[in-house]
């Protein structure tokens, strides 16, 4: 495939070995946040561990006394849960649910759970519920319970 690139007013012709579309790469949006399905029950068939870039807005005081909004990025643990069921969200069906909830991550990443899933076991049905506030204040958090 030949690729035309415009750089500094000149056209460069680049020869690329393969088109990007030739790779069967899953999209970055093949999962939806677990909170989107509410308290619907589901069966866990696989768990993938990773990280999520969490952006936090901070107000920074400028030299002239005004404030400017800036963003700090922090990598936080995340899991993607593959379910036996499919959930229709905004017209698209999903069977992968993402979560950054520490309670859900710790429940689904124990050695025993990961081994059972690797051995082909299914876990569930479970559902996500909102739990009370943590001891240090903050927002309520999600946990998994038997459905």
What digits encode the pLDDT tens for the residues 18-36? Answer: 444 444 444 445 889 898 8
Domain assignment present for residue 71? The answer is yes
State the average pLDDT over residues 110-132: 89
Domain count, the chain: 1
**Which tokens sit at 54?**
């969490």
Write the CB contacts of 137 (distance below 8 Å, at least 6 apart in sequence). none
The H-or-E segment that residue 66 falls in is none
Domain assignment present for residue 16? The answer is no
Domain assignment present for residue 59? The answer is yes
Query: Residue 64 pLDDT more than 90?
Result: yes
Which tens digits make up the pLDDT trace of 70-99? 888 888 899 999 999 999 998 889 999 999
Domain assignment present for residue 47? The answer is yes
Domain assignment present for residue 5? The answer is no
The residue segments making up the domain with residue 133 are 26-146
| CB contact at 8 A, 45 and 83 | yes
Q: Does this model's pTM top 0.85?
A: no
- Tokens 């870039």 sit at which residue? 53
pLDDT at 120: 94
Domain assignment present for residue 117? The answer is yes
Domain assignment present for residue 11? The answer is no
pLDDT at 143: 76
Query: Residue 11 pLDDT more than 70?
Result: no
Domain assignment present for residue 6? The answer is no
Give the rounded distance of the alpha carbon of 53 from its chain centre: 9
Residues of the chain with pLDDT > 90: what percent?
36
């Amino acid at each position: 495939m030949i690729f035309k690139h415009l750089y500094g007013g000149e056209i460069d012709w680049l020869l690329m070995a393969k088109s990007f579309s030739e790779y069967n790469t899953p999209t970055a949006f093949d999962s939806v946040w677990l909170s989107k399905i509410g308290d619907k029950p589901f069966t866990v068939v696989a768990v993938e561990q990773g990280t999520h870039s969490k952006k936090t807005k901070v107000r920074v005081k400028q030299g002239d006394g005004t404030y400017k909004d800036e963003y700090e990025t922090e990598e936080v643990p995340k899991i993607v849960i593959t379910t036996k069921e499919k959930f229709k969200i905004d017209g698209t069906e999903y069977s992968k649910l993402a979560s950054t909830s520490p309670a859900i991550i710790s429940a689904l990443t124990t050695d025993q759970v990961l081994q059972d899933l690797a051995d082909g076991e299914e876990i569930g049905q479970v559902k996500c519920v909102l739990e009370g506030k943590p001891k240090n204040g903050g927002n309520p958090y999600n946990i998994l319970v038997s459905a």
